[in-house]
């Protein structure tokens, strides 16, 4: 299964490759692949793939637990970086095609359009997670690294809110993404609850065993005293 990770990387590159091909086709024959508004189509294309890939990154642990396929866990960082890659393409396509590289317009949208503020916040979180995804940062941050990377759940929730706000009709896709995220969260919460219950049961069992051992030692000591005490 050594070829799994390169094969997955190839598949994750296909949406970007298709976008490049679509742009080339638009130059040759306007309206052929991206419709009447190619810029908006590219922004939507990259945004949808960003959400799909980050959901895949979240699902990797669940897939491994359900299937036992350990190879997929080694690809989790790569998938997370691809999620940031498509999120960045989504942002840059918006800045280039919809805001025409006008920083004043981008700033106005950030302050006046809440759905853009929410989407930008999600990108900032993914930026921080991508920048600190190396083993070196794991060693530097120690236990704080895991807490920091739990912000991915916040980033996905913000991305979904961003998508809900942008959806004007045809809610099936955003409902599907929300349902997948909800199921992944429920699976994690149920697993954590099960782990907590197991830990509590193990702790209770250990205390009972310690209490029993202490009682046995006390009884044994009393018997020894009665045997050597004068009558």
- Residue pair 60/12 in contact by the 8 Å Cβ criterion: no
CA 144-146-147 angle, 5° bins: 65
Give Cβ neighbours of residue 186 (< 8 Å, ≥ 6 apart).
none
**Would the pLDDT of 14 be above 60?**
yes
Q: Which pair of tokens denotes residue 87?
A: 């999120």
- Comparing 106-115, 145-154, 195-204, the range with the smallest average pLDDT is 195-204
Helix %, strand %, coil % of the chain (to 5): 85, 0, 15
More reliable by pLDDT, 207 or 65: 65
Model confidence band, residue 191 (pLDDT cutoffs 50, 70, 90): confident
Helical residues (DSSP H) of 97-171, grouped into ranges:
103-112, 114-131, 135-141, 143-149, 152-166
Model confidence band, residue 148 (pLDDT cutoffs 50, 70, 90): very high
Give Cβ neighbours of residue 82 (< 8 Å, ≥ 6 apart).
9, 12, 53
Please state, in angstroms and rounded to a whole number, the distance separating the CA atoms of residues 210 and 216: 10
- Comparing 66-75, 180-189, 193-202, the range with the smallest average pLDDT is 193-202
What's the mean pLDDT in 90-108? 96
- Residue pair 80/129 in contact by the 8 Å Cβ criterion: yes
**Would the pLDDT of 47 be above 70?**
yes
Q: What is the DSSP letter of 72?
A: G
Domain ranges in the chain are 4-167
The model's pTM: 0.84
């Amino acid at each position: 299964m050594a070829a799994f990770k390169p094969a997955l990387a190839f598949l994750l590159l296909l949406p970007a490759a298709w976008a490049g091909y679509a742009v080339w086709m638009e130059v040759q024959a306007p309206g052929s692949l991206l419709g009447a508004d190619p810029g908006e189509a590219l922004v939507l294309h990259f945004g949808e793939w960003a959400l799909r890939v980050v959901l895949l990154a979240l699902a990797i642990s669940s897939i491994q637990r359900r299937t036992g396929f350990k190879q997929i866990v080694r690809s989790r960082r790569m998938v997370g970086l691809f999620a940031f890659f498509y999120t960045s393409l989504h942002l840059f396509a918006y800045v280039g095609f919809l805001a025409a590289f006008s920083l004043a317009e981008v700033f106005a949208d950030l302050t006046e359009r809440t759905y853009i503020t929410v989407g930008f916040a999600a990108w900032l979180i993914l930026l921080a997670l991508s920048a600190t995804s190396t083993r070196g940062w794991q060693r530097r941050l120690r236990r704080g690294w895991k807490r920091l990377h739990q912000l991915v759940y916040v980033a996905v929730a913000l991305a979904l809110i961003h998508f809900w706000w942008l959806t004007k009709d045809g809610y099936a896709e955003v409902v599907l993404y929300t349902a997948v995220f909800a199921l992944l969260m429920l699976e994690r919460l149920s697993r954590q609850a099960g782990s907590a219950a197991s830990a509590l049961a193990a702790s209770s069992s250990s205390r009972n065993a310690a209490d029993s051992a202490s009682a046995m030692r006390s009884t044994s000591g009393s018997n020894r005293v009665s045997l050597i005490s004068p009558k």
